[in-house]
A and B are shown apart, each in its own frame.
Chain A
Amino acid sequence: MFNSGISVKNLVSELKQEVDIALPISNKSYVLWLNSLEHFLYTEFIQEQNKIIVDGTDDCIINLGDISMPDDEAAIRFEDIYTVFADTKQLIKSTVTSGNIFPNTFYKMDNNLAYNALFQPKEIRIIYFVKPKLKAVDENDNIEPGNVMLPIEFIDLVKAKLRGEAYKLSNEDSLAAKWLNDYNILLETFKAWLNGKQPNFGM
């Protein structure tokens, strides 16, 4: 994952001093927007893959909530799963209807991963898109430690987005439009930057 090295607390504090609005905006709101932005960028554009290996189960359902994740990563959702291997065989993503009929498929069942394999596999390898752990705010609106998990080169993208959301919330439409437009332009630059760093081979 990327790590800008800039703490969320410092970034939000800096933005609060700079954003010129009458209505104070809570740290909680800033952190919510930041979490939303990070997850959106990681799942849609960055798409960094990681893998987790779990044992095959008798009922062919893997409870995603029970999977123990690395410290800096958010929990897996079914939608974050890119592909699944049962031992060495790649399963194809399917629906509940087709998954019940055709073998070597995996599908979503009650927010969990269900699979249909010809033979009971020893292990299930889940390849998923990583997302950074959600930043938290305590009951006194203090931001818990954590960094902005995006490249330092694009910290302005984060700032533009947070400023835009803050002005939008305060009904300062023209300023909101200016910053969100800035964000959209920087987002295109970010996408182009990521394109140059894609692997040359494989899924």
Chain B
Amino acid sequence: MTILEMFEKANLIMPIEQRRFFNYFDDSVNELIAMYDGFVIEKDIEYQPPTDLSDNNAVLPLYHNAIIDNILFLSGQNETYKGEFVRKSRQAFLKYWNDNAKGRRLKKRGEKNV
């Protein structure tokens, strides 16, 4: 989703000003980076907090719905949204982690990597 699409989704639940949205978006991304660093931002892109609805969204796609839930929680919605943020972000992380680990296997002692 683009930043604008995420803003629209959040506004469908409750109206929120742009500035607050960008602040909560940045808070959510930082929280994700703290939990799952290395599996949150698109490869080779440096994350910059958005300041405009037309800015590029550097966060990996599967985290987007989780971020929206956290934005709604931070905007005053109930704690269910926080729970959903934690659940969805965990699922997204596991998917990306598994995708990254495909084709690799653990080496046994003394065995060379084939």
Contact = CB atoms under 8 A, between A and B. Distances in A.
B52 A88 contact: yes
A92 B19 CA distance: 7
A104 B21 CA distance: 14
B17 A90 contact: yes
B11 interface: yes
A203 B53 contact: no
B15 interface: yes
B11 A202 contact: yes
B114 interface: no
B60 to A, nearest CB: 26
A88 B17 CA distance: 13
A89 B18 contact: yes
Contacts of B17: 83, 90, 92, 203
Contacts of B106: none
A89 B52 CA distance: 6
Nearest to B53: A88
Contacts of B100: none
A90 B16 CA distance: 11
B52 A203 contact: no
Contacts of A92: 17, 19-20
Interface of A: 83, 88-92, 104, 201-203
17 contacts: A88-B52, A88-B53, A88-B54, A89-B51, A90-B17, A90-B18, A90-B19, A91-B19, A92-B19, A92-B20, A104-B19, A201-B12, A202-B11, A202-B15, A203-B15, A203-B16, A203-B17
Top 8 nearest A-B pairs (CB, nearest first) are A90-B18, A203-B15, A92-B19, A202-B11, A92-B17, A90-B17, A104-B19, A89-B52
Given A202-B11, A203-B15, 14 more contacts: A88-B52, A88-B53, A88-B54, A89-B52, A90-B17, A90-B19, A91-B19, A92-B17, A92-B20, A104-B19, A201-B11, A202-B15, A203-B11, A203-B16
